[in-house]
Each structure stands twice: as C-alpha cells, then as structure tokens.
Structure 1
Amino acid sequence: MRKAFILIFLLLGASISLMAQDSKRVTAKEFYALIQQHPDALIVDVRPAGMFAKYRLQNAMPAPEKADLIELTKVVPKSDTIFLYCEKDIRTRPAAEILQGLGYTNIIELKGGLVSWRRYELPLDEEKLK
C-alpha cells in the first residue's frame, strides 16, 4: 500500500511539472525557422555582455542578468513569443523559469545554444559592438 501511495505521488508530481512547463526547447534549425515566422518576437541573448558584443543573432537584445530580462519584458504582452538563447544551452532554462514566473506562456529556447547554431552555419550578426 505504501508503494502505491509513493507511486501516485510521483506520478502526480511529474504531471504537474509537465503542465507547468511553458517553454519549448527546439533545435537550431527549428529555432531559425520559428524566428522567421515571428519577425516581431523578442529575441533574448542571455550570455554575458562581452560575448554579446562580439556576435549575436540578428535583432537580439542582451539580458545577461535577471534585472535586464525583467526590464526587457516590461512592454511585452504575456502572450507574445519570446526566443531565448545562450552559448552552450546553460543559461536559457533559468531565464525561461524567470519568464514563466512573470506569466509568459510562449517561450522558445535554443537547444544546444550558439554552439549548435554555428554547427549548421546559420547567420550571425558579427558586427563588433562597443
């Protein structure tokens, strides 16, 4: 009987976790295609500022810190699509969780980060910023 309760508890927890997840992780090719389909969507680079200055996705906005991310989203409706990426797919999950906590429901994360993006030779904005 005790094992049945534990199993039910674990299944309930897993289903609640899946329902609460409002972000979607996609491959570099899918991410690129989705950006093309949503040209007015917010694209957020959550890498450190120095990396953003060297290269980034076209039209991306920097948000290296939580406060930067919150500031960027102040004028973005909760139903809008927000794209998140970093270098190696480490920083997007925490950023997505912040956005979910703020009520955003359409978050798309770049699986594999810019490492994956470059592997497919997808376009980058490499104009150096000061």
Structure 2
Amino acid sequence: MLARATARFPPSTIARLHVRFFSQTAAARGPLFSAHVASLKKHVKEISTSELNAKLTARPEGPGAAFHLLDVRETKEWNQGRLPYAVYTGRGCLERDIEGIVADPYDEIVLYCGSGMRSVLAADALQKLGYKNVTSLRGGIGAWTKEGLPLGQSTKTFSDLVEDY
C-alpha cells in the first residue's frame, strides 16, 4: 500500500499526511486514558503559562539552581523548539535518570510536554519516587506558544551526558 502511495504522491506530501494522521490520532485520546489523566490531575499540581513565564523572567540570569524545567517530550519535538531554560529528559527514562538531574527531592521541578498530559503522567511518577515539589505546565508547550511566549535555544540535553541503556 505504501508503495502505491509513494508512486502517486511526492515524498513531501506523504510526510505531511503522516504527520497530520498521527497528530489527529494523538489528539483523539481514548476515554480510559483521558479518565486516567483526569484522576491524576487531582493530586498533581499544575502551573499556568503566565505563572511559569513570571518564574523564568523574574531574574535576569534566569531561575536559580533549585529550579528545574524539564521537557518530557520526544527528541524530535525538542528539536522543533523548547521553553527557555529547559533541560531535555524525555519521558521514557525519566524515572531512571531523574536523580542525576535533580538530586534534591525538595527542589522545584516543572515538567512540560506538548499538551500537558505526558507531563501529568511524569509528575505522578516523580511524586511516587519521593519528589515533593513537582508541577506540570497546564496545556504544555502548545499553550505556551498559543500565548505568544518566547521559545528558548537551550542546548542542554541530559541524554547526551549519559550512556545509552
């Protein structure tokens, strides 16, 4: 089937269709997953884009050492843009790698993803590991960009510092 499609359409069209299909699929979440995320939101704190922007811009040198903004999206998403001062962690190995990123379980951690769902899952996992001050960005980077807030150019990627598992 793919061979027939590639014979009829140029690769750029196939790529756009692929991205569009998977974007729509991701947007159409099942009721069990949606209910699960809703139940987690009852005990996961969320921060608004304006509150996070205020934290990031309060000091000219950026947030202090006890503040960690972690991007739990996929590498491909990170490469397309990120929040200022963010560190890439990815969701897949977060529980394994977190102690190398945030040693003190009382430090402030703000997690974000594309829409605010993966970051809620990640926040729940970190709370279960014993982290006490974990927050999820409500609406994720999608809400951030919708508000017209600036994206950062940070090159800090924790995954570059650790061995492949």
TM-score by length of 2: 0.58
The answer as to 2:85 corresponding to 1:64 is: no
Q: CA deviation at 1:70?
A: 3.3
Gaps of at least 5 residues in structure 1 are: 1-16
1:26-57 superposed Cα distances (whole Å, 9 cap, x missing partner): 21101212334543211110111111012101
The structure, 1 or 2, with the larger RCO (C-alpha pairs under 8 Å, 6+ apart) is: 1
Residue among 92, 99, 103 paired with 1:76: 103
The answer as to 2:71 corresponding to 1:48 is: no
What is the correspondence of 1:1-130 to structure 2 with a 5 Å cutoff? 21=43, 23-36=44-57, 38-40=63-65, 41-74=67-100, 75-126=102-153
Q: Structure 1 residues 57, 73: closer, same or farther in 2, change over 3 A?
A: farther
Q: Which amino acid aligns with 1:52?
A: W
Once superposed, what is the RMSD of the aligned Cα atoms? 2.6
Gaps of at least 5 residues in structure 2 are: 1-38, 158-165
How many Å separate the matches in 2 of 1:112 and 1:101?
A: 22
How many Å separate the matches in 2 of 1:55 and 1:103?
A: 30
How many Å separate the matches in 1 of 2:91 and 2:134?
A: 18
Q: Structure 1 residues 68, 99: closer, same or farther in 2, change over 3 A?
A: closer
CA contact (8 A) 1:96 1:107 kept: yes
- Secondary structure of the 1:88 match is coil
CA contact (8 A) 1:66 1:95 kept: no
